[in-house]
Amino acid sequence: MMVRTLNFYSLSLLVLQPLTFSLVGMLLSRAAGRPMPDLVYNIIGGGVMGMWSGIVFTSSWDIRGDRYTGVLELIVVSPTSLFTLNMIRSFTNVLSGFFSMVLAFLAAVFMYDLPLNEANLPAALVSLLLLLFSTWSISIFLSVFFAASRISGHFVEYLEMPVAILCGFMYPIRILPGWMKTVSSFIPIRWSLEAMNESLLGLANLPYLLGHWGLALLLSFAFIAVTFLMQKKVNDIIRVNGELSAI
């Protein structure tokens, strides 16, 4: 957490980038004739975008740093498994990224005086917790994926915007083409974010919320299961080759 807080590049991901996205969203909203920015897609969406960006890059930085300093092999064969270590580090990454959402929410409430009297706050809180859990499950998947395949780190930049587009961070997902909705249905962030957006807009349809919460949980556990299997592959590789730097 100290490294994330004191690193300017991390702070730019968690603070400057979400502010930029939120400001652009508000300018586009004004240009479209709306005097008040949209709470869900202009403000909260910018915070979610910052959290996702932070997760994508910090998950790769952790493994890259381990490989660069020559301790990745030692971590893999230590009594504490790589899976456990990545779970803890990814949790701190999610908490750091959550700072983006907190800033966005405070800006929405205090700077723009946006009302929350119609919001379904209990459902929004449950959806937020599931959003953090979904993001955490993808974070540990990415971190072990980078450990299992060195070349995968070169493609991390391509994960940032496609997921943001597929999951509808800053616009309703219903405007996407059908095939994009199908692809996004396999990403747990989409379901938890949709539930949170609808809750903030005042939705109290329990079957709708339970369905989205259930899909978010199911897909998150699927990512965790795949991550566990990938970690076994990493352990097998290092026991055969004795190193991971050439993978």
Under the banding of pLDDT at 50, 70 and 90, the label for residue 222 is very high
* Model confidence at 247: pLDDT above 70: no
Dist. CA 217–CA 228, nearest whole Å: 17
Distance CA 247, CA 244 (A): 6
Tokens encoding 174: 């219903």
d(CA 105, CA 161): 22
| Tokens 């903030």, located at residue | 200
Per-residue pLDDT of 107-145, as tens digits, reads: 767 776 666 777 788 888 899 899 999 989 988 888 777
Q: Which of 17-21, 187-191, 222-226 has the least mean pLDDT?
A: 17-21
**pLDDT tens, 83-96?**
788 888 888 878 87
Q: Are 148 and 247 in contact (CB under 8 A)?
A: yes
- What's the whole-model pTM score? 0.83
124, 197 contact by CB (below 8 A)? no
Which residue would you say has higher pLDDT here, 163 or 104?
163
| Secondary structure of the chain in HEC code, one letter for each residue | CHHHHHCHHHHHHHHHHHHHHHHHHHHHHHHCCCCCCCHHHHHHHHHHHHHHHHHHHHHHHHHHHHHHHCCHHHHHCCCCCHHHHHHHHHHHHHHHHHHHHHHHHHHHHHHCCCCCCCCCHHHHHHHHHHHHHHHHHHHHHHHHHHHHCHHHHHHHHHHHHHHHHHCCCCCCHHHCCHHHHHHHCCCHHHHHHHHHHHHHCCCCCHHHHHHHHHHHHHHHHHHHHHHHHHHHHHHHHHHHHCCCCCC
Q: What is the rounded distance in angstroms from the CA atom of residue 224 to the CA atom of residue 188?
A: 12
Residue 168 in this model has a pLDDT that exceeds 90 = no
pLDDT at 246: 46
Q: Which residue has the tokens 């991550």?
A: 227
* Neighbour tally for 182: CB within 10 Å: 11
Asked if 108 and 98 touch (Cβ cutoff 8 Å), the reply is no
DSSP annotation of 159: G
